[in-house]
Structure 1
Amino acid sequence: MTMSQTLSEFDAKAAESGSKATERFKSSGKRAALEVPKERVSLLAREVLEAVYATIRTHKVTYDEYNALKEWLIGVGEDGEWPLFLDVWVEHVVEEVATEDRKGSKGTIEGPYYVPNSPEQPTPGRLPRREDEPGTELTWRGQIRGLDGSELAGGKVEIWHADGAGFYSQYAPGLPEWNLRGTVLADEDGNFEIQTMRPAPYQIPTDGACGKLIAAAGWHAWRPAHIHVKVSAPGHQQITAQLYFPGDAHNDDDIASAVKPELILDPKPAADGAGEEMVYDFVLDPED
């Protein structure tokens, strides 16, 4: 590649995005030391290993298959794709268990592409975008409330999503740093309005180790179009969710198993004829 050539989002590679996801996880604070009794570590590790042993015995796994698995596991690490693998195939169950006692709005997985500290702006907010940003204009209005129906002041909505080609800023080259990422501060009544663009469905990266698993298993790599959010308000539990669009071909077979009926949106043609508009509110549980 010459100095005059410029990379675009379509030049994104699994190893590069995987490396960024790994680096971001390491700096996120999620690796903080966790005091877990040895008995629990032993219990969880032993049960995982027993499940592996049972699979080997039941299906008579061969040495060739074992070595192929070993090679693949090494590749996941070399490609930096452990965050992708875990967030796509494991996180949805962790989220299910972690939020099973909540009475408010449903949430779902965070995924590997969250970036903290996105630029803040008061409602109505407009997410940063390119002048020629492809796609359909989308205006989202909503309100943040408590379980008792009270309007929550001091709330905010962190939002991020793929662009009209299915790529995320900071994980694909050629995109502005905060493209289609931002934090919108709700008003004193918990109301917010966000102007953005409708995202596209996309395939998770398939040119790395996760893609090799998908190909070997004959799976598809598609995620339905979705909008990521983290919604919070003082004195209440933050909710992490993804909002989906009706009619998407992969709402029923999302590779990340993250779609829930409660998270399906209902966009309508905008009253002014410019794109679409929708209403979706959040109800937050109080902090424990």
Structure 2
Amino acid sequence: MTQEMTKHLPTTKNERVEEVFDLFIKHMQAFLEEAKLNHEEYTNFVNWADRLGKSGELPLYADVFLETHVLQAMYTELPGTQPSLLGPYYVDDAPFVEADEEGIIDLPKRENEPGDVLYFSGTVKSVEGEPLANAEVDYWQNDNSAKYSNFDSDAPDYNLRGRFKTDENGKFTVKTIQAVPYPIPDQGPTGEFLGYMEQHPMRPAHLHIMFKAPGHETLITQVFFEGDEWMETDVAEGVRDELITQLQEKDGYKEAQLEFVMRKDQ
């Protein structure tokens, strides 16, 4: 073996990689036997997967069609709030936002931000029911045009994004605007796949929230709103019953709330 060839080999064997790959091959062989793919179908799949990778849509496809099943397999039987998709629109290092004198977290937004004002409140607890004070909350959502800042929106960076802490009772209240349903990108290979499945590209309106607390497993989840027309047919299958809340109409704004339960570190 030449020096050029050996420099690409790992320095140490990774037994976990070998274990997972062997399982993958085992179950792939069973899948192929059950599906009875012919070589043309296999070649068409490889070519489509090549287009998916070259288009940069592999993370999108994995988020929408694979991650939800991975999460369900890992967490459905465990206590605590069910996780949901991280999604492709997360951004690291959103600004920290301090609560005002009334304990309200006013998310960064444009002057006269379009959309219905929403006050969303949450309570963060452990599986033992203890409030988790000073837990870090990382929050992001789309705007009234169905766009996310830092990606395809005209809004300033970090619009409707922010990090903050729960109070001494594990509570927080965010002042924001109501998120809206939106379609995932459907003009490339992902959209081609949707066409094969006769599946629409829509996701129901939702909020993204990530929770971190010492001694607890990071919780990445979403919040959905009862009555959304896309709730039952979410293209990403990210909806969980316990993540659905009710919107209450107030005088000039809306309110919603939900409780979140974090699991202990394993």
Pick one of 123, 138, 143 that aligns with 1:158.
Answer: 138
1:219 equivalent in structure 2: 199
1:99 equivalent in structure 2: 75
TM-score between the two structures when normalised by the length of structure 2: 0.86
Pick one of 198, 223, 236 that aligns with 1:256.
Answer: 236
Kindly state the Cα deviation for residue 50 of structure 1 after the two structures are TM-superposed: 1.4
Q: How many residues align?
A: 251
Q: For residue 118 of structure 1, what is the amino acid of its counterpart?
A: A
1:42 equivalent in structure 2: 21
Mapped to 2, the partners of 1:253 and 1:188 lie a distance apart of 38
2:48 equivalent in structure 1: 72
1:192 aligns with 2:172: yes
Kindly state the Cα deviation for residue 76 of structure 1 after the two structures are TM-superposed: 0.6
Mapped to 1, the partners of 2:72 and 2:133 lie a distance apart of 28
Matches within 5 A, 1:75-90: 75-90=51-66
Bigger mean CA offset, 88-97 vs 141-150: 141-150
Q: For residue 99 of structure 1, what is the amino acid of its counterpart?
A: Y
The change in CA–CA distance for 1:34 and 1:279 in structure 2 (over 3 A counts) is farther
Offset from partner CA, 1:192-242 (integer Å, 9 cap, x none): 111111111111001111011112332111111110111222222221111
The answer (yes or no) to whether the contact 1:107–1:242 under 8 Å persists in 2 is yes
Matches within 5 A, 1:116-155: 116-123=92-99, 124-155=104-135
Larger radius of gyration: 2
After TM superposition, the runs of 4+ consecutive aligned structure 1 residues lying more than 3 A away are: 33-36, 65-68
Mapped to 2, the partners of 1:78 and 1:133 lie a distance apart of 36
The answer (yes or no) to whether the contact 2:180–2:205 under 8 Å persists in 1 is yes
Aligned residue for 1:74, secondary structure, equals helix
Pick one of 252, 260, 263 that aligns with 1:282.
Answer: 260
Percent identity at matched positions?
Answer: 31
The change in CA–CA distance for 1:38 and 1:269 in structure 2 (over 3 A counts) is closer
Q: For residue 201 of structure 2, what is the amino acid of its counterpart?
A: A
* Runs (5+) with no aligned partner, structure 1: 1-32
The change in CA–CA distance for 1:217 and 1:97 in structure 2 (over 3 A counts) is closer
Q: For residue 258 of structure 2, what is the amino acid of its counterpart?
A: Y
TM-score between the two structures when normalised by the length of structure 1: 0.80
The answer (yes or no) to whether the contact 1:162–1:180 under 8 Å persists in 2 is yes
Kindly state the Cα deviation for residue 148 of structure 1 after the two structures are TM-superposed: 2.4
The change in CA–CA distance for 1:185 and 1:216 in structure 2 (over 3 A counts) is same
1:172 aligns with 2:152: yes
* Runs (5+) with no aligned partner, structure 2: 1-11
Mapped to 2, the partners of 1:197 and 1:51 lie a distance apart of 48
The answer (yes or no) to whether the contact 1:154–1:234 under 8 Å persists in 2 is no
Mapped to 2, the partners of 1:93 and 1:107 lie a distance apart of 11
The answer (yes or no) to whether the contact 1:119–1:182 under 8 Å persists in 2 is yes
The answer (yes or no) to whether the contact 1:122–1:186 under 8 Å persists in 2 is no
The change in CA–CA distance for 1:47 and 1:131 in structure 2 (over 3 A counts) is farther
RMSD across aligned C-alpha pairs, in angstroms?
2.1
Aligned residue for 1:192, secondary structure, equals strand
